[in-house]
Chain A
Amino acid sequence: MSLEIQDSEFDIVIAALQPNLTTFFEAWRPFFSRFHIIVVKDPDLAEELQIPTGFDVKVYTKSDMGVLGATSIDFSGHSCRYFGYLVSRKKYVISIDDNCLPAKDNGGLIVDAVSQHMSNLKTPATPFFFNTLYDPFRKGADFVRGYPFSLREGVECMLSCGLWLHNADYDPMTHVVKRNQRNTTYVDAVMTVPIGAIMPVSGINVAFNREVLGPVMFPALRLRKDGKHRWDTLEDIWNGLCAKVVCDRLGYGVKTGLPYVIRSDAEAGKALESLKEWEGVKVMDDVLPFFQSVKLSTTATTVEDCVKELASIVKEKLGPQNAIFAKAADAMEEWAKLWESHGAQSS
């Protein structure tokens, strides 16, 4: 039932938005050291990166991005990690923000987030019926009474969305209003997000099947004042919304829950500044009816087909509402081209 996945099939992709990654890499060393790591430096970051030795690391910078030629895709800020997705040659990618460290579980043990993501991707997802004991493939759990037997094989999980302790991934408004709130609840569950359910995928702690999902893992939506803080962006949320539509259409699974990472709150105090010009307030409400009703045609049988179709529907239905959607549609099409020319190969 579980897939056999080797370490060698994984790349860890880290976007460097700060120059000193020593603490980050030292903390993750026990869990990262056996993998190939791609570090992509934010093209806007001037300083040299500091990465400790003892890792199999390849660093990509602004000049490396030149290999793509002229492209409308903006790889600055958090979007730089997507360049890492393009240049990776592995079947799976795990990506964690550089201000996140390994968390401790309820028993005080340090969580190997990498292994948990691998486990999520290895075991089937169950999108067609909700299991009240959550992931039935976890040790000590199973499908409950009333779960149809024909649905117990599950489908392949393509996207694993992890969570964050301490500094949770809130929008800037919530950061301001609940400035002292920290996420201290470790929910010991992984679950499949049901087919048809829409969810906000946070890019802070994700893993996915790059070989299959690569063409839909794009940085397409940019707010007019996209900033360096996660709350200034929605590119991962848009990415996730599109990826879920595609997964639902093609019968792939998306899981959410474990693993947790612990996220530092170096940024928390700056949320108020971001509110002044934060376009994000209305964006999700604008796109909600679209995602609630979008249906891809049955002739779209590959991720590439789905992305092309989705991009044109976005252009047609959302483009007229706001230029950022028209640009997002263009970026989705551009990404499809880039993926074909630079991203598609796996080794």
Chain B
Amino acid sequence: MAAVPSTPLLKDELDIVIPTIRNLDFLEMWRPFFQPYHLIIVQDGDPSKIIRVPEGFDYELYNRNDINRILGPKASCISFKDSACRCFGYMVSKKKYIYTIDDDCFVAKDPSGKDINALEQHIKNLLSPSTPYFFNTLYDPYRDGADFVRGYPFSLREGAPTAVSHGLWLNIPDYDAPTQLVKPLERNSRYVDAVLTIPKGTLFPMCGMNLAFDRELIGPAMYFGLMGDGQPIGRYDDMWAGWCTKVITDHLGLGVKTGLPYIWHSKASNPFVNLKKEYNGIFWQEELIPFFQSVALPKEATTVQKCYLELAKQVAAKLGKVDCYFNKLADSMVTWIEAWDELNPPKGVVAAENDPAKSK
């Protein structure tokens, strides 16, 4: 039997982006898996607070002052007092892949008791194709031990490039506030041993707690919106990014996977605080979903940026009447793309004056 090839580390091609407002103690548990990689820490909240990074990690850290300095007026698109600020890390990264994880997420164990190397699984997911055009009933056909089932068209078996790998959580599940209030004791103890592609045309709730993506394929779509301080909504940052991302990946012929790996989510946030944050979102969502389900991107939108700018236009045109927040959001979506392009010029073009790589 052929030896199972080991998963490449990609240590020079992947950045780990971590938003934090408190501390990074959780990194100790991840050390065996994360130490080879470069970390981008996005410090939210009070910039004068010193966030201690455990010894031995290679990292760059940005607080609000850094974000303001680097982006200037465009910093308005980056949320404050919300983990949505993490997307700044995506923008300043120079790597092909991003893995982002919350600071209350720890290493989980699989059913055999072995520690799960979440990053390795995400890499496997990203490096193997997706299958968005036809559902495979044995889930990811590229996993060891699986394959395409009878009836799966041969012309689709090459798959599509994978842009996003969405992982899950054991212990505290990612529930909204109402569900948390009704089921405060529910814990996710079910280990579902599957990775699968979310079909083209299907929307899903993308959680940013344990998420990896190909920055070159989809990075500009991973804007986590305007949340937190001064905003009428919170806890919809990753959802917003996920709906935009899915519409764009569907349009560009890219795939989104969900399932393994699991991490262990240790902290249940305060459901009463969450309810206040989510309140508007719960109602607005009912308008947002039909919007995203029916959005059509023109053929000429052949890059992520073009798709995203077109989306921003439609957000303003169609969602502005739901709440003026969406006009602001549409503007910041445009600002985000401008900032992204400035910090990530096409290869061969010299980066702008305020390139963080030059100033650190």
- Which A residues fall within an 8 A CB radius of B? 106, 129-134, 138, 140-151, 161, 163, 168-171, 174, 178, 180-181, 183-189, 193-202, 230-231, 234, 237, 240, 256, 281, 284-285, 288, 292
Q: Which of B135, B136, B151, B239 sits near A284, CB closer than 8 Å?
A: B151
- Are A181 and B145 in touch, CB under 8 angstroms? yes
- Are A288 and B134 in touch, CB under 8 angstroms? yes
**What residues of chain A lie closer than 8 Å to B184, measured between beta carbons?**
none
Q: Interface range on chain B: under 10, 10 to 19, 20 to 34, or 35 or more?
A: 35 or more
**What residues of chain B lie closer than 8 Å to A188, measured between beta carbons?**
190-193
Nearest CB on A from B311, distance (A): 18
Nearest residue, chain B, Cβ from A132: B258
**What residues of chain B lie closer than 8 Å to A285, measured between beta carbons?**
153-155
State in angstroms the CA–CA spacing of A283 and B340 once bound together.
46
Q: Which of A146, A168, A284 sits near B138, CB closer than 8 Å?
A: A168
Q: Which of B135, B145, B206, B238 sits near A198, CB closer than 8 Å?
A: B135
State in angstroms the CA–CA spacing of A143 and B173 once bound together.
10
State in angstroms the CA–CA spacing of A201 and B149 once bound together.
10
Tell me if B175 is interfacial: C-beta within 8 Å of chain A. yes
State in angstroms the CA–CA spacing of A197 and B133 once bound together.
7
23 contacts between A and B (CB under 8 A): A129-B204, A130-B205, A142-B186, A143-B179, A145-B235, A146-B236, A146-B238, A147-B176, A161-B137, A169-B150, A171-B149, A171-B150, A187-B139, A189-B192, A193-B135, A194-B198, A194-B201, A195-B202, A200-B135, A200-B150, A202-B151, A281-B154, A288-B134
Residue of B149, B155, B188 ringed by the most chain A CB atoms within 10 A: B149
Nearest residue, chain B, Cβ from A172: B150
State in angstroms the CA–CA spacing of A199 and B192 once bound together.
20
* Contact string against A for B residues 315-327, beta-carbon threshold 8 Å, 1 for contact and 0 otherwise: 0000000000000
Contacting A at CB under 8 A, from B169-216, are 173-176, 179, 183, 186-194, 198-207
- Are B145 and A183 in touch, CB under 8 angstroms? yes
* Contact string against A for B residues 281-297, beta-carbon threshold 8 Å, 1 for contact and 0 otherwise: 01001100100000000
- Which B residues fall within an 8 A CB radius of A? 1, 111, 133-139, 143, 145-156, 166, 168, 173-176, 179, 183, 186-194, 198-207, 235-236, 238-239, 242, 258, 278, 282, 285-286, 289
State in angstroms the CA–CA spacing of A137 and B277 once bound together.
26
State in angstroms the CA–CA spacing of A149 and B148 once bound together.
34
**What residues of chain B lie closer than 8 Å to A288, measured between beta carbons?**
134, 153, 155-156
State in angstroms the CA–CA spacing of A143 and B143 once bound together.
27
| Known contacts A185-B193, A288-B153; A174 and B289 CB within 8 A of each other | no
- Are A169 and B149 in touch, CB under 8 angstroms? yes
- Are A237 and B150 in touch, CB under 8 angstroms? yes
Smallest CB-CB A-B distances: 5 pairs: A146-B205, A200-B151, A237-B151, A197-B199, A199-B135
Nearest CB on B from A212, distance (A): 22
Nearest residue, chain B, Cβ from A127: B202
Nearest residue, chain B, Cβ from A231: B150
Nearest residue, chain A, Cβ from B177: A145
**What residues of chain B lie closer than 8 Å to A161, measured between beta carbons?**
137
- Are A168 and B151 in touch, CB under 8 angstroms? no
- Are A256 and B174 in touch, CB under 8 angstroms? no
Nearest CB on A from B268, distance (A): 12
Nearest residue, chain B, Cβ from A190: B192
- Are A144 and B175 in touch, CB under 8 angstroms? yes
State in angstroms the CA–CA spacing of A232 and B235 once bound together.
51
Q: Which of B147, B151, B173 sits near A144, CB closer than 8 Å?
A: B173
Nearest CB on B from A158, distance (A): 17
- Are B151 and A171 in touch, CB under 8 angstroms? yes
**What residues of chain A lie closer than 8 Å to B202, measured between beta carbons?**
129-130, 194-197
| Known contacts A144-B174, A197-B201; A132 and B166 CB within 8 A of each other | yes
Nearest CB on A from B228, distance (A): 16
**What residues of chain B lie closer than 8 Å to A138, measured between beta carbons?**
190
- Are B289 and A129 in touch, CB under 8 angstroms? yes
**What residues of chain A lie closer than 8 Å to B278, measured between beta carbons?**
145
Residue of B166, B191, B205, B286 ringed by the most chain A CB atoms within 10 A: B205
Q: A130-B258, A170-B149 are in contact. List 17 more A-B contacts (CB 8 A).
A: A130-B202, A131-B204, A140-B186, A141-B173, A144-B173, A146-B205, A146-B207, A149-B282, A185-B145, A185-B193, A187-B139, A196-B202, A197-B202, A198-B134, A201-B137, A202-B137, A284-B153
Residue of A138, A143, A147, A161 ringed by the most chain B CB atoms within 10 A: A147
**What residues of chain A lie closer than 8 Å to B238, measured between beta carbons?**
146
- Are B205 and A142 in touch, CB under 8 angstroms? no
Residue of B146, B150, B235, B239 ringed by the most chain A CB atoms within 10 A: B150
**What residues of chain A lie closer than 8 Å to B207, measured between beta carbons?**
132, 144-146
Nearest CB on B from A219, distance (A): 15
Nearest CB on B from A185, distance (A): 6
| Known contacts A174-B148, A196-B202; A141 and B137 CB within 8 A of each other | no
Q: Which of A130, A134, A185, A231 sits near B203, CB closer than 8 Å?
A: A130
**What residues of chain A lie closer than 8 Å to B193, measured between beta carbons?**
185-188
Nearest CB on B from A225, distance (A): 16
State in angstroms the CA–CA spacing of A201 and B206 once bound together.
28
Nearest residue, chain B, Cβ from A163: B137
Nearest CB on A from B95, distance (A): 26
- Are B137 and A256 in touch, CB under 8 angstroms? yes
State in angstroms the CA–CA spacing of A196 and B198 once bound together.
12
- Are A284 and B168 in touch, CB under 8 angstroms? no
- Are A140 and B189 in touch, CB under 8 angstroms? yes
